[in-house]
Amino acid sequence: MLKNILNGLKSYLDSFRLLNSLKLWKYFAIPILICFLTATLIISASLFFAEDLGNQIAQLWPFGWAQETVSSISHIIGGLLILAIGLVLFKHMVMAFSAPFMGPVSEKIEAHYLGEVQKDENSITNISNSLARGIRINVRNLFKELLFVIPLFLLSLIPVIGIIFTIFIFLVQAYYAGFGNMDYTLERHFKYKDSIKFVQKNRGIAIGNGIGFILLLLVPVLGIIIVFPLSVVAATKDTVHRIYQPQHS
């Protein structure tokens, strides 16, 4: 598992070269715009709703003493919770609506390594089907991820041991980010359920790719521009390799 996580991260090292040599940057113009609009929406929502959520959390405090301290802490917790959920939403919204634009990128990279693009009878062949599959995969992943992230976030507030649950949150988010990036290639080769099984079998690669995705996203402004191109190229490279040279995660 650890080896595959590291392999998923290493694939980012070659992403810039592939983006330039295969002239792939033009395909990311609309996805980058989607990234900016989605990020702006989520950040605005977190600022707008943080105080109200904080007030609701503060009301759970049953005692009359330390109300101001509890209120201040509750506002911080409310903001962090909204941002945590916002990051989850950001990934899946961007990945779902960018799906039609990522197919050509994945195909060019696959052709670069194999000399041709191989598709099976279940291949996604048009924009509407690609978008529909992208939405289906990411809605499924969104709900699965929230089932893990919300309770883990609450556990992460526990002093000292909370750091362990924070790490789990990071790894869960990384897994589903990598999952979405890998599916742009998997949609040409597998049905919906088979794609899920493929990623589960190669979860180390998904986590490694997702770790890179999240770390790049944390870079102010520039991260929003480069995160999608680099992560998709890295994931495509790994996914093509795993399809034709399967290994155990």
pLDDT of 123 > 60? The answer is no
pLDDT at position 82 is: 77
Domain extent, residue 24, equals 2-28+99-244
For the segment 143-166, the average pLDDT, to the nearest whole number, is: 88
As for how many domains the chain has, the answer is 1
pLDDT at 114: 83
Per-residue pLDDT reduced to its tens digit, 238-248: 999 998 876 54
The pLDDT value given to residue 200:
95
- Does the residue 46 lie in any domain? no
Q: Is residue 142 part of a domain?
A: yes
Mean confidence (pLDDT) of the chain = 85
Q: What is the pLDDT of residues 163-172, one digit of tens each?
A: 999 899 999 9
- Predicted local confidence at residue 62, as pLDDT: 72
Cβ–Cβ under 8 Å, residues 79 and 50: yes
Determine the Cα–Cα distance for residues 134 and 148; give it in Å rounded to an integer: 21
* Whether residue 249 has pLDDT greater than 50: no
In-domain check, residue 47: no
Give tens-digit pLDDT for 15-70.
888 899 988 888 888 888 988 888 888 888 777 777 777 777 777 777 767 777 77
The CA distance from 146 to 45, in Å, is 18
Over the chain, what HEC string results? CHHHHHHHHHHHHHHHHHHHHCCCHHHHHHHHHHHHHHHHHHHHHHHHHHHHHHHHHHCCCCCCCCHHHHHHHHHHHHHHHHHHHHHHHHHHHHHHHHHHHHHHHHHHHHHHHHCCCCCCCCCCCCHHHHHHHHHHHHHHHHHHHHHHHHHHHHHHCCCCCHHHHHHHHHHHHHHHHHHHHHHHHHCCCCCHHHHHHHHHHCHHHHHHHHHHHHHHHCCCCHHHHHHHHHHHHHHHHHHHHHHHCCCCC
In a domain, 86, yes or no: no
Say yes or no to pLDDT of 136 above 60.
yes
pLDDT of residue 171: 95
Look at residue 203 and tell me if it is in a domain: yes
Q: Is residue 91 part of a domain?
A: no
The answer to whether residue 84 sits within a structural domain is no
Q: Is the pLDDT of residue 203 over 90?
A: yes
- The answer to whether residue 35 sits within a structural domain is no
